[in-house]
Chain A
Amino acid sequence: MARLLQVLLDGEGDVFPFHAWDHVEVRARIEVAVLNFLAALASPSSPAISVLPLISRSSANCSLRSGLLNDVSSVYLSHTFCKRSLMHNPKAFVRVWKVMGMCYKILGEGKLVHQRELFYKFLSDSPKYFSCQRHVNQAIQDVVSLLRCTRQSLGVMASSRGALIGRLVLHEPDEEQIDCSILGASGHAITGDLNLLSKLNLSSDARYIIVVEKDAIFQRLAEDRLYNQLPCILITAKGYPDIATRFILHRLSQTFPNMPIFALVDWNPAGLAIMCTYKYGSISMGLESYRYACNVKWLGMRGDDLQLIPESAFQVLKPRDLQIAKSLLSSKFLQESHRAELTLMVERGKRADIEALYSHGFDYLGKYIARKIVQGDYI
């Protein structure tokens, strides 16, 4: 396999013309990496320690592209690279190789390891290099950028905090069916295993998918069984969306292309940022996350809804909020209507949570959502 790839490499400039999803493919790429490294090391004329070129995971290297067959735009990382070299940053350099070695072994054993488990393994084997989870996560992303594969194809998965509930039946092959409309208020926990998620059979008679920013709101709506009044599927990542949640959302949107997706987020820059991540993908996992971008529409909270909220419910925007706002405003993908909303947020200097709507009663939220959908009040 390594030889085959070598032949491919001798072709054009672009090393790996396609992203690797397959474990076998990724193992082969790792082998090529090792062989290239050793060849440079042992070169008779000019021995050298190779530098690792990683696709740059920065906003400078990110652009927006539109889907060909749909109106989904997504973030993608282009061809700018940056380097990892032993001479400049030895620790980070060694981390990349350690992760590659570990993943190679994991793949050889056909396992799937959790990011957290990996951290504890490294913490005991190589504490000098991995003292926190962030080191592991970043090194994994470096390997993803180097080999141009996905995290899961390295045999690593991250847990998901996501949950869903509503008019959806999930059917894992060889397993029982799960009817998500009869679950408790915490819903069905979304697994971090993308492979498993990809094998799920989905069936639904819902008409809408509602993405909820916060767990508390999700649980409120789940308890009230909103999906029995409004045929929908509720999904949340309980904060910043992780890959698995986005993956399943994407699958839902693919499986049920006529189901619009609505976002229910707080009135603050962070809420908008979360919605944008579902909508366009993320830069930090830009190599793979663009694939899970969905056409999400902003239902609420929005500027027009502020009149429904008592003045006392407003809070001042914090510096972090302003930083996020600034970053969003300078990004390439923000559509005009969203930009206007964000500008309004910044101008007023205030933020408000969805919970502020409870001032009208705890069942107000369900009605608010239903009304908005029916009136087509989303952007």
Chain B
Amino acid sequence: MDWADLPWALPSAYLPQFVQTFTAHPDCPSPRSGGAARLGRAETTVGERRDSGDRLNDPQLPVRNLLRQPKHPVFSFNFAMSSTSSPHRKLLHSLAYWAVQRCRMSESPCRLTVSLKRPAEPASSSPLRVSVSDTGVGSKLEFLELDALARETPAEKWDGTLLITTTGINDEAIYRYRINLQEEISSARFSKLATTYKNHARFSGTEVCLCLSNDADVDDLILWLVGFFRKNLACELFVEQTGNADSRNVCLTQDSDDVHHSVTASSIDQLVSGLKDYTLFHGNTCDKCGACSLNRDLLKIGTGAANHVDRRKSKGLHVEVVIVIAQTASDSTCCMVNCPFTQVLYFEDFVPCQISQSSFDVLMSTDWQSYGFKLKGERQGSQQGRYLVRKALKSALSHLKADHAGDFLSCHGQRVREFVPDLAESIAGLILSSTDEEFQDECIALLGLGSEQDISEGAVQSSISEKMIRIIEMNDTKENAEDNVPYLFECEKLDGDSELDEEDGDEDMAFDF
């Protein structure tokens, strides 16, 4: 098995457990209006999942959206990093990631909602109103990182303003802020708006509203959004046009075998599930591959985890590693059959990011050969205390090896194993060439082949072969496997570990000297 080059472009959060819907959201503040956003009132309840009719009219407060189990099944997803050259897309990407992260960190079922409201006329100068909301943990105003993006986005596309409503589960109030990232005067960049008290209600969530220019390519944007979410999980899309009684409904129900995946599954199980999908979708480079989706159960999975709790700082570090291996038969119809690849997805706090140097070093310095892999390309990494990552990775690899004995034999073991058939054939040939029946019977009895007449040479060979392979596999990971190997005959002294070199030993025509 070869690892292809390890690309470090790392896509997305591996988190499932929520349902996305696109809904028409009538409320979106216009930029620079300075007005209080009609973000809904705390007392508006949502409760049930609405059908499309209600949606059109209901000024939802997504923040208080469904706190109960989503009706839709839970999916896990990874979405590929598509090139998001347009600032609109980059923005939506980031907002969506953070929303996902917040949902994940809340460790309870959440809902993520993205809504777009566009004017009826394509050429209208009215803005596109966007809102991204979730019922995850409260926001820590990570939006301030959009600084750079704001500055490089022309003001007519996006004015750099975000209206944020957020509350944490233990907060007494819902806080509203307005951030203007294009504002140069720092004091004017951030303003706090009216606070609403929760009156002991317990919920959390965030809503981010913004306005984007209504560009000619909004349709493309919507299509992209559809693709963006569809590839991963989302199942329904509703697009509404204001001022227009029509609405377009696009249902994008996605099949998934994890339909009944428990919402209380551990994060590592979710990661497994997500990576399985990612693998079967070939990293989202193609639509669901018919050939591979049937092989879901044939994926080989290894998992490992390690953690460290620093009691003094009451912080902990928890590392989870999941390895998913898909082997396509050479005659498969899969589009990827001739271009196997390896990808590493790295997440920190459930958000995809560039792999850390220390983790990268661990990957580079791991002894892949003991599992039958070969790393292409060498890079020198430093070996300082990568303990947790290394431990989790090793655990995942050992898990793989233990579950699929023989598939992940070390490179040395594989090389030795190749010689087994010939060796077995030689010994079987010897046994069956004997005219001494007693000797033959004894051999066959030792192999446990029973006492039927006429055991074939092939049967003897297979028996010997299987036993040897099993021994090789068993000893592959043992470090002291060499210590107790028996000698064919008793001998008094053994000269240390001396092995007769291939080059030693002359023909008797040559000199001893």
Chain A interfacial positions (CB closer than 8 Å to B): 1-3, 9, 13-16, 30-31, 33-42, 46-54, 56-61, 79-94, 97-98, 100-101, 104-105, 108, 126, 128-129, 133-134, 137-138, 141-142, 146, 158, 239-240, 242-243, 269-270, 273, 277, 282-285, 289, 323-324, 327-328, 331
Contact = CB atoms under 8 A, between A and B. Distances in A.
B504 to A, nearest CB: 7
A84 B493 CA distance: 15
> Most chain-A Cβ atoms within 10 A of its Cβ — which of B415, B471, B499, B511?
B511
A284 B492 contact: no
Given A86-B416, A108-B434, A284-B505, A128 B422 contact: yes
Interface in B449-495: 464, 467-468, 470-472, 474-475, 481-482, 484-495
Given A82-B498, A92-B502, A242-B509, A31 B434 contact: yes
A71 B475 CA distance: 53
Contact of B426 (A50, A80, A94, A323): A94
A104 B489 contact: no
Closest 6 pairs between A and B when the two form their complex, measured CB to CB: A327-B513, A101-B430, A90-B419, A82-B498, A15-B489, A38-B446
A104 to B, nearest CB: 5
A13 B512 contact: no
29 contacts: A9-B489, A13-B491, A16-B489, A41-B447, A42-B448, A42-B467, A53-B488, A57-B500, A60-B495, A61-B495, A79-B493, A80-B495, A81-B491, A83-B500, A89-B500, A89-B502, A90-B418, A90-B423, A92-B502, A94-B423, A100-B430, A105-B430, A126-B422, A146-B488, A239-B509, A242-B509, A284-B505, A285-B508, A324-B511
Contacts of A98: 422, 426
B422 A53 contact: no
A3 B439 CA distance: 9
A282 B446 contact: no
A54 B511 contact: no
A171 B510 CA distance: 31
A15 B492 CA distance: 9
B507 interface: yes
Given A14-B492, A240-B509, A284-B506, A53 B487 contact: yes
Contact of B443 (A15, A38, A53, A85): A38
Given A37-B427, A47-B474, A97-B427, 8 more contacts: A36-B489, A38-B447, A58-B504, A87-B412, A126-B422, A142-B500, A239-B509, A284-B505
Contacts of B489: 9, 15-16, 33, 36, 53, 146
B255 interface: no
Interface residues of B, number: 60
A50 B487 contact: yes
A55 B443 CA distance: 26
A49 B464 CA distance: 10
Interface string B162-189: 0000000000000000000000000000
B381 interface: no
A87 B505 CA distance: 20
B512 A277 contact: yes
Contacts of A42: 446-448, 467
B107 interface: no
B427 A83 contact: no
A2 B502 CA distance: 31
Majority secondary structure, B binding face: loop
A13 B494 contact: no
B427 A101 contact: yes
A92 B430 contact: no
A104 B504 CA distance: 25
Contacts of A97: 423, 426-427, 430
B488 A37 contact: yes
Contacts of A50: 485-488
Nearest to B428: A101
B512 A282 contact: yes
A86 B412 CA distance: 11
B508 to A, nearest CB: 5
A323 B498 contact: no
A51 B484 CA distance: 10
A50 B446 CA distance: 15
A31 B494 contact: no
A158 B412 CA distance: 37
A361 B393 CA distance: 84
B440 to A, nearest CB: 10
- Please indicate which of the listed interface residues A30, A31, A104, A270 has the most CB atoms of chain B within 10 Å of its own CB: A31
Given A52-B488, A126-B422, A137-B507, A31 B495 contact: no
Contact of A328 (B430, B493, B513): B513
Given A35-B446, A158-B508, A83 B498 contact: yes
A79 B434 CA distance: 31
B132 interface: no
A35 B512 contact: no
Contacts of B487: 50-53, 83
A1 B434 CA distance: 13
Contacts of B475: 87
B497 interface: yes
Nearest to A40: B486
B500 A101 contact: no
Nearest to B481: A87
A94 B419 contact: yes
B301 interface: no
Nearest to B497: A83
Contact of B433 (A9, A104, A277, A284): A104
A46 B426 contact: no
Contacts of A58: 504
A151 B263 CA distance: 74
A13 B491 CA distance: 6
Nearest to A283: B512
Given A48-B486, A50-B485, A81 B505 contact: no
Nearest to A246: B508
B436 to A, nearest CB: 7
A133 B422 CA distance: 20
B438 interface: yes
A34 B442 CA distance: 10
B468 A41 contact: yes
